[in-house]
Chain A
Amino acid sequence: MSRNKKWIWFGIGAVFSITLPMMVSNPYALQFFINMLLFAYLATGWNIIGGYAGQMALGNGVYFGIGAYVSTVLFVYENLSPWVGMVLGGGVAAFIALLMGRMTFRLSGSYFSLSTVAVLHVIRLFVLSSNRLFGYETRGAQGIYVPWRGQSFLNMQFEGKTEYYYIILAFFVIGLFISWWIKTSRMGYYLAAINTNQEATSSLGVNVMGMKLKASCISAFMTALGGSFYAQFIMMVDPSRVLGYDLSVQIMLYAAIGGRGTLAGPVIAAFLLAPLNDLLRAVFGTTVSGLSLVFYGLALMLIIYFIPQGIWPYVSEKLKEMKGSAK
């Protein structure tokens, strides 16, 4: 695609996404788009460690949960603005990612995958079984409700959904920019090299361990911020919502379906698949739960079997071929 064409597409996207809340008056429909953006953002975050660096993190949901809990607890009990709380939550998440990476990156890749799930399970169990965490009442499986303290930007509380839409849109744009920046910078080259051959990469002067840790921390930080936003948006946190294993797989699968290691792939897949959840709920109601995840699981299996590189690389290759034959 030529540079001009890219900017035109970008412009169309920008105008559409900014004016969207004015076109969509139904709050339910807006929630639809908020979900899409949230998952596109999360998948973009996962893609940094799982796609660019090729380290199969399967428990990224834990950082989502950490972000959600840290900002919520601080908001509810300390009256700290979620904007500050989410940065702290991101810090905690990045620290845990650093700790686990330090231990498991020395070993083969599958141990890293295992460790990410291990952290997820232990933190989920810990939160699930504790009524109090670090002196704050978290009420185990029941979770915490976020009290309404009046519409305010500082509290990240709004009566309508429009403001939430713009916040997650900003998150998404910034996340996409970070992802683009990493991909095109020194780090992007290094991560792509690490993805295929770590030994050769280190022989070219790259601190492989350091790079993987950096990627892991950035990914964890981004995911945690998404968790904080989600908690403020639905006004509650509980372990099954923000610390589930399925959520982790879901974050990962958008990137895997869309195309690991590509900038646009995770976003495209999230835009295509995330609404499925809301659609199915609209059709079947809440009587049949888990149906969207059945489809996600199936979609992941089919994609891995038929086009393992993911939708986006496949489609762009086909487009190129078509252009080539047109000439």
Chain B
Amino acid sequence: MIADKERRTVLEARNIVKQFGGLTAVNNVSMHVNEGEIVGLIGANGAGKTTLFNMIAGVFPPTSGRISFMGQEIQGLPCHKMCRLGIGRTYQIVKPFVNLSVLDNTVVGALNQCKDVKSAREKARKTLDFVGLGHRMDVSSRNLNLPELKRLELARALATEPKLLLLDEVMAGLNPTDSGRVIELVRRIRDERGITIIVIEHVMKAIMTLSNRIYVLNQGSLVADGTPEEVSKNPEVIKSYFGEKRYAKN
């Protein structure tokens, strides 16, 4: 592995604040992600993880603060521009296009970087093979089960050819076998495609084994960051996070 310093910074967020009315959902968060890293984002429900994702993905702008992607300031750009720049995302609650087949779902993503429909279909096929949905291509996405839908979300986002991929709880609701497969897949996305990844995850074992570094959010603020070992020893984190039995279970 290359040393941290030699790598390019893909994403840098500085002093991000997001307020909804009087509520501060994200409070002065700064973070950076280097090329080729898998960075974990953890915290209890309502800690502001998805809000942070939404700002990076352009769903809404931060109230204040700067976000730069590959050296370019991007805060406040709309979703589709973020995607065109190379930020892909999946949703916590899967959002398949139920009126389309699995292949066509993925084609919508693939068109982002393809000149014509034909090459987009080709790329979509390859992407579906890559995530292991090749045999389900012509099925309506209405008929997929949850593990398959999660893969479809991944395939769609991957097909846009992102440089940075934001994964919002891709393992939630999956049994240990299925989440093991997804962990494997996320690793392959980074290793074989060289895509930098930020993951939000509740399954602790998964995030500990996957991530190079972890940021811990609590009530909108950053309380710790570092390697999985460092973070898991941090007393603040143990108190606010691992103290709860339901998370330690996995």
Contact = CB atoms under 8 A, between A and B. Distances in A.
Contact of B117 (A185, A193, A203): A185
Interface stretch (A1-9, A65-73, A96-104, A204-212): A204-212
Contacts of A197: 95-97
Nearest to B112: A205
B95 A204 contact: no
Contact of B108 (A184, A199, A201, A207): A201
A261 B109 CA distance: 20
B78 A206 contact: no
B14 interface: no
A189 B80 contact: no
B99 A203 contact: no
Identify which of A185, A190, A203, A206 gathers the most chain B CB atoms within 10 Å of its CB. A203
A261 B100 CA distance: 12
B98 interface: yes
Given A205-B83, A205-B160, A189 B107 contact: yes
Given A186-B117, A202-B79, A195 B156 contact: no
A307 to B, nearest CB: 16
B57 interface: yes
A207 B77 CA distance: 12
Nearest to A208: B80
Contacts of B199: none
Given A186-B117, A189-B104, A192-B104, A204 B112 contact: yes
A261 B83 contact: no
Contacts of B96: 196-197, 200
Contacts of B83: 202-205
Interface string B98-124: 111000110111011000110010000
Interface in B108-147: 108-109, 111-112, 116-117, 120
Say which size band chain B's interface belongs to. Answer: 20 to 34
By secondary structure, the A interface counts as: helix
Identify which of B79, B83, B112 gathers the most chain A CB atoms within 10 Å of its CB. B79
Given A193-B108, A200-B91, A204-B109, A261 B97 contact: no
Contact of A195 (B88, B99, B120): B99
Say which size band chain A's interface belongs to. Answer: 20 to 34
Identify which of B88, B96, B97, B116 gathers the most chain A CB atoms within 10 Å of its CB. B97
Given A192-B104, A193-B100, A196-B99, A207 B91 contact: no
B84 interface: yes
B89 interface: yes
A184 B160 contact: no
A199 B104 contact: no
Contact of A205 (B80, B91, B95, B117): B80
Nearest to B105: A193
Contact of B100 (A196, A202, A206): A196
Nearest to A199: B95
B80 A202 contact: yes
B97 A200 contact: yes
Interface of B: 57, 59, 78-80, 83-84, 88-89, 91, 95-100, 104-105, 107-109, 111-112, 116-117, 120, 156-157, 160
10 contacts: A185-B117, A186-B116, A189-B111, A192-B97, A195-B97, A196-B100, A197-B95, A202-B80, A203-B79, A203-B88
> Which 4 residue pairs across A and B have the least CB separation, nearest first?
A205-B83, A205-B112, A200-B95, A202-B79
Given A196-B98, A199-B79, A206-B80, 20 more contacts: A184-B117, A186-B111, A192-B99, A193-B100, A193-B105, A193-B108, A197-B96, A197-B97, A200-B95, A202-B79, A203-B79, A204-B108, A204-B109, A204-B112, A204-B160, A205-B84, A206-B112, A207-B78, A207-B80, A208-B80
